[in-house]
Structure 1
Amino acid sequence: MKLITLTLLSVVLFQSSVNSSMTLKDIVTGAKDNVIGMVTNVGSYLPTPSQLFGAAKNNLAGYPLEYLADTMNSVCSTLMHSKSIQTRVMPDLATMNFQFITPCEKHIIPILSSKDLYKIKAFDPTKKTVILVTGWRTTIDSSDTIDELSKAYNCRGDVNFIAIDVASCVNTLFTWSALNTEKLGEYLGQGLADLAQVIPRENIHLIGHSLGAHICGSAGRSFTALTDEKIARITGLDPAKPCFNEGEDLSGLMRGDAEFVDIIHTNPGVLGKRDPIGDVDFYPDGVVPLPTGCMSITCAHSRSWEYYVESVYPGNENNFMAKRCNSLAKLKQNRCGKTPAAPMGYAATSNLKGNYFLEVRGSSPFGMDGSKQRENANVYCGSCVQNAGK
């Protein structure tokens, strides 16, 4: 009871910071009424320790950062509109490459020579081709996102996995990097138009994390402008929030940039976009800045690609089952209607529309339907170690 009282009092105090007209008597009375109400309906409303911790964590460490991010976003948008800043490192098409990654090799192909991928023995033009674009301050040779996702897809063995080297243009001050996304996407779109001459465009799937998601959006628009067709799918993994706003100078990834755009939000409102921007938007653990298991925004921002990687491994396609709903609270109360559950991540289907919510675990396997046994079985799957004897 002491824990409940202290937690409720802290929440009322937090809210009172917005309403300065509240007196100490109002605060104490409010806390008292809440406690009495909870005790009266203890069976239905008593929060678990993990729920109390999650609420306190986001109140203290998540939502204040969301307010700061909103301020930064407004300043950045104003600067972009006034043309007060210019990029420091201009994108150079000659330095951009596709990196085709197999379990034991990496093949480098200039982005405008993408048809040369056809000459690599390991490249199979009949398979789907997945192209990953990473985010701010990551490099192609030092990226957990690339390493983990390439391993997962190589474990499946049914795709060609490619990463894009754009690090030199998105490794500077964030605003300069943001300015480069449109041009980088245009260059990538040119490369994709070239690639589509040797593989069906229906087999192309772009995946972008953070700033990379917006590069993918620009690439999709560029591809359409060049070919009058659309890329089959773009997956946005916590698309970056600062500086990107629909209808402004930097619009970023949005529905319509591909035939199917699916989004996974894991740090909504801070480093990642909060509002729905895809055909389907997934909110694991709800619309909170810090999901279960994360105490920092960098952890939360990375969860998007960690969830996706988990879903790629064989047997994990349905680890993250979500339901179309208005909130996580309604999901927990079984008030989401009769819409069937659908998988988030690898197996998301193009018929999905709207906002989907799901619960997640705080540690791997993150999916509620995940299995430690399957996770352990995939430790070496897709790695060079497993393929060394083949």
Structure 2
Amino acid sequence: MARIALKMLPLQVYLLLQLLVSFPSIHSIEFTLSDIIESAGKVGSSIVDPSLLPTPQGLLDGSKQLIAGYPFEFVSNSINTICSQALASNKIMSKYMPDINKMNFQLHSACEKANFPLSNPEGMWKSPLFDPKKKVIILATGWTTTVNGSDTIDEFSKAYNCRGDVNFVALDAARFVDTLYTWSAFNTEDIGEHIAAGLVKLLDLVPVDNIHLIGHSLGAHIVGSAGRHLRRLTNQTIPRITGLDPAKPCFNEGEVLSGLMRGDARFVDVIHSNPGVLGKRDPMGDVDFYPGGMGPLPAGCLTVTCAHARSWEYFAETIYPGNEMNFRATRCNSMSRLRDLRCPGNEVPMGYNVPHDVKGNYFLEVSGSSPYGSHASVVRNAQLEQCGKCPASSTKTEVATSTRTSRLWF
């Protein structure tokens, strides 16, 4: 009877109960902590080689990961297991099934945004804002993100318009990735298929080699699906797909939702910024970058949401002219080996200018605040602040700032 009642609960409540059951008992936690304290006392009472003691920075980083990062990783693993089992049962259906007639491409210039239906993208290709001689960048964002008021899209739009050599397009599929996470995850494959259908028409005007798909979080899996379906429909392969901290929960290779994987494009590069929690930890692309290592929280982040966003912030920084070499990574097995100078090989740039022939896992140091690249220039970053903005909005910002400043004097 109890089992029947549980099955009748809303999915959110059922998942929460499963998570609570999966946590260890209070007694086991206390026992573990007492063991740690006892062990620490034994270490403290013995003679320890000073060279083996952790540095103050090492203690700080370890404490941050222990308190703010790894507990969420445990929860994420539990959610991932439950979601996989639910999807495998074939009893999960999305509340809002993707409808291509309710999704749009949004074309961005420095001063304008224009929406065009995915089902009829010819209007975008004919728009005066679209230049068929330029490459096309299509960005798909993640869960609960919409095209209006999105920091991710706004920053990418500004960065690419600063370069001025591409058509920057954002995908508006908000209604189908702004619902319960499991439903949103379930929709990624179908949304990708709809994007592929729109891209088929684009190929009449733009060669496939001029298309680059980028996705953050759930968006990474959406563009992976788009790449697979475009190849199925046209026998042509997207040259590059970039995954920015691809979402972890519900996506597992070989299961119902496999998500982004190498082979979805001729070259797949992935940046992991919250590995093991909101983002996948396992290598997924031809090249996988681990800025700051495989811990769940990179430098400067105390929350997993901050860490999850870092991937797109890192990439966006590299789009600006002169910033292409801000992040330099080395092929390696771990961050500790990199710091011990035990990783031979040349450095390669992460982000916009990554070479398309690199393979393997790459590690690199990052800064905790913008600009994040260890080889960034603060001066150049300041000079690029207005680059890519609409001149009219920049003027308004300057006027508003001047007005606020003048009011401070009274």
What is the TM-score when the length of structure 2 is the normalising length? 0.86
Paired residue for 2:325? 318
- Worse-matched range after superposition: 350-359 or 115-124: 115-124
Rate the CA distance shift 1:25–1:372 in 2: closer, same or farther, 3 A: closer
Residues 193, 225 of structure 2: 8 Å contact kept: yes
Paired residue for 2:6? none
Distance in 2 separating the partners of 1:321 and 1:226? 37
Rate the CA distance shift 1:24–1:218 in 2: closer, same or farther, 3 A: closer
Can you list the C-alpha shifts for 1:96-131, whole angstroms capped at 9, x where unaligned?
Answer: 111110000112221132233332223211211100
1:198 and 2:205 correspond: yes
Paired residue for 1:247? 254
RMSD: 2.0
Residues 380, 386 of structure 1: 8 Å contact kept: no
Paired residue for 1:378? 384
Distance in 1 separating the partners of 2:394 and 2:374? 33
1:369 and 2:381 correspond: no
Residues 215, 221 of structure 2: 8 Å contact kept: yes
Paired residue for 1:350? 356
1:36 and 2:57 correspond: no
Of 171, 182, 190, the residue aligned with 2:189 is 182
Rate the CA distance shift 1:30–1:171 in 2: closer, same or farther, 3 A: same
Paired residue for 1:290? 297
Residues 234, 261 of structure 1: 8 Å contact kept: yes
Paired residue for 1:231? 238
Distance in 1 separating the partners of 2:372 and 2:30? 35
**TM-aligned CA deviation for residue 242 of structure 1:** 0.2
Of 331, 339, 343, the residue aligned with 1:332 is 339
Rate the CA distance shift 1:320–1:187 in 2: closer, same or farther, 3 A: same
- Worse-matched range after superposition: 59-68 or 234-243: 59-68
Question: 1:70-85 residue pairs with structure 2 within 5 A?
Answer: 70-85=77-92
Paired residue for 1:173? 180
Distance in 2 separating the partners of 1:161 and 1:306? 17
Distance in 2 separating the partners of 1:271 and 1:311? 23
1:141 and 2:152 correspond: no
Distance in 1 separating the partners of 2:44 and 2:222? 48
Name the SS of the counterpart of 1:205 in structure 2: strand
**TM-aligned CA deviation for residue 83 of structure 1:** 1.8
1:106 and 2:110 correspond: no
Can you list the C-alpha shifts for 1:23-74, whole angstroms capped at 9, x where unaligned?
Answer: 86544223455x712x1x2xxx554433221111001111111111101100
Rate the CA distance shift 1:386–1:330 in 2: closer, same or farther, 3 A: farther
Residues 386, 394 of structure 2: 8 Å contact kept: no
**TM-aligned CA deviation for residue 388 of structure 1:** 7.8
Name the SS of the counterpart of 1:306 in structure 2: helix
Distance in 2 separating the partners of 1:199 and 1:134? 23
Distance in 2 separating the partners of 1:72 and 1:18? 26
What is the TM-score when the length of structure 1 is the normalising length? 0.90
Question: 1:118-157 residue pairs with structure 2 within 5 A?
Answer: 118-157=125-164
Distance in 2 separating the partners of 1:262 and 1:357? 13
Name the SS of the counterpart of 2:194 in structure 1: helix
Rate the CA distance shift 1:22–1:196 in 2: closer, same or farther, 3 A: same
Rate the CA distance shift 1:78–1:377 in 2: closer, same or farther, 3 A: same
Rate the CA distance shift 1:24–1:280 in 2: closer, same or farther, 3 A: closer
Residues 314, 351 of structure 2: 8 Å contact kept: yes
Rate the CA distance shift 1:205–1:17 in 2: closer, same or farther, 3 A: farther
Aligned residues: 368
Gaps of 5+ in 1: 1-15
